Each structure stands twice: as structure tokens, then as C-alpha cells.
Amino acid sequence: MTQTISEATPTAAATPAEPGFAVRLNQVTKVFGRGGGAPVLDGIDLTVAPGEFVCLLGASGCGKSTLLNLIADLDKPTAGTIEIGGGRPALMFQDHALFPWLTAGKNIELALKLRGVPREDRKAEAEALLELVRLGGASRKRVHELSGGMRQRVALARALAQAGDLLLMDEPFAALDAITRDVLHDELTRIWAETGRSVVFVTHNVREAVRLAERVVLMSSRPGRIAREWHIEIPQPRRIEDTGVSELSVEITDQLRGEIRRHGRA
């Protein structure tokens, strides 16, 4: 049972090779409690390539968030190994989790401070990250002055401030209205393309998964296992109402419904 950061071993006159993965899971199993109960996750094998955008999809209780927490090293697998290919992952939650007594800029500066960025550099870097998420000029705004969508943009900027190559996102847009969510889909796609980060994105929304991802991974329940994967070949930029997105969403929804019927969980 290990969680490791993979690093190439340098040789004389050679540049260390980049690992061929952002995260690699091998036979990951998770059981809660000491009584040896039924596993929440069982034998998960999953590799995310550098720069890849992967959506984890499944019914409630299938272990998607648990899997994300294991990758983030917030919990440990009961069995199996998790290897991270490029620094500690950044994690973005469904709730923005911003500190309400800090401004937008100071929330981001706190992440930079924890990363070890010198004090004199933090403000400029925080403002640059706000520009990246199209919130330039909002550095001095308090959390209560921001809309829901703006708060999630600040939360995204704070996650990017952690500078890991892997961004983990746990249903970050689920609480937003449809229009705001659609706008943030566009923004996330743009930021992913500009930064080259790898993304593992948890969602219940099939169309959201197809709209965003290069690969959709469907998980079964009781215990959580990988049931099927789809490589999305629809070119970006995509719209959630595009014909190709709609057609593939229907196919994936049928598979998801089959998993729900099989395991009796909605």
C-alpha cells in the first residue's frame, strides 16, 4: 500500500525523463472501518496521461469522490498503489471553500504561501491567476461580494496556484445554474488547453462529462469498479447541446442506467 511521487533518476549529461503518466493506479481497493466490511472500491486500474482530461462518472455511492481523495492523498488505499507523476495534486471541491475573511487575492496568496512562493512575488502571481480565470480586477473583493460563478473561478485560481501537474475536481459546478455552468465549462476547457494540466473531474452529469473530457470512465457500484471507458473524439470546442455530445450522452446514459439497475442504486 503506497502513494508515491515518481521521479526519473538523472544520469550524467542527461535530462531526467518526464514520467509517462500524471497518475497511475494499480489494483486500488478501499475498505472503511476495521471490521473488514465490503469494499467501497475494488481493484481499480487507471492511468491518466500527462495533459489528459478524464471524467469519472457513476451513480451516487460508487466511490468517485473516495477515489479522488485517495489520489489527493487525503486518505490511504487499503490495498494497491497510487503513483503521482508530477508534484502533489491540487484539489477543487464542489463548495468553493474560500476563507470569507480574506479577499479573493489573499485566498490565492495563501495557497502560494503554502507552496513556498516568496512574499514579494505572491501578489503579482495571484493577480496573474485571477486574469487567467478572467477575474482581473477582483483581487480586493471579499467572498460575499462575488457571485457563485465568480467564487468557483477564485477557487479554480487557488487550485492552480498549487502548481501541481494534476488538477482534481470534485463536482465543482454542480451547485451552479445552467448558464453559469456552461460558461465555466468554456473557461475550464480554455484553461486546460493553456496550462497543459492533467485533469480528473468527478461528475454525475453525463452531458457535462462528454462536453469536457477526452476520456469518460464509467464506474459501477457496490463495490466501485471501472465498468467501461469512452475516448471522446468530438473536437473541442464543444457545446453541451452539440449533436455529437447529445448522441454519445444517450449511449453513456443507457450504460449508466444499466449499472444502476444492476446494483439497485440511484
d(CA 228, CA 170): 20
Q: Which amino acid is present at 151?
A: R
HEC-encoded secondary structure of 203-243: ECCHHHHHHHCCEEEEECCCCECEEEEEECCCCCCCCCCCH
Q: 38: Cβ–Cβ under 8 A, 6 or more apart, which residues?
A: 31, 222, 223
- Residue 36: exposure state from Cβ atoms within 10 A (0-12, 13-18, ≥19): exposed
**CA distances (Å), origin 111, targets 101, 124, 154, 203:** 15, 13, 12, 25
| 8 A C-beta contact, residue 127 and residue 88 | no
Q: Is the pLDDT of residue 228 over 50?
A: yes
pLDDT band at 265 (very low <50, low <70, confident <90, very high): low
With vertex at residue 147, the alpha carbon angle to CA 204 and CA 90, rounded to the nearest 5 degrees, is 55
Mean pLDDT (whole number) for 227-244: 93
Domains of the chain and CATH, by start: 1-6+19-89+166-266 (3.40.50.300), 95-163 (no CATH)
| 8 A C-beta contact, residue 110 and residue 157 | no
pLDDT tens for 117-165 read: 999 999 999 999 999 999 999 999 999 999 999 999 999 999 999 878 9
**135 torsion bin: left (phi>0), alpha (psi -120 to 50), beta (else):** alpha
pLDDT at 5: 38
pLDDT at 30: 94
Q: Is the pLDDT of residue 99 over 60?
A: yes
d(CA 32, CA 161): 32
Q: Which amino acid is present at 85?
A: G
Q: Is the pLDDT of residue 12 over 60?
A: no
Please name the residue that has the C-alpha cell 467572498.
143
pLDDT band at 233 (very low <50, low <70, confident <90, very high): very high
Whole-structure pTM over 0.85, yes or no? yes
pLDDT at 16: 42
Q: Which amino acid is present at 239?
A: R
Helix, strand, coil shares, percent, the chain, to 5: 35, 25, 40
Q: Which residues pair with 23 in a beta bridge?
A: 48, 84
Q: 72: Cβ–Cβ under 8 A, 6 or more apart, which residues?
A: 89, 91, 168
Q: Return the C-alpha cell found at 67.
A: 477515489
The half-sphere exposure of 81 on its side-chain side, counting CA atoms within 13 A, is 9
pLDDT at 264: 64
Mean pLDDT (whole number) for 241-265: 88
Average pLDDT, the chain: 88
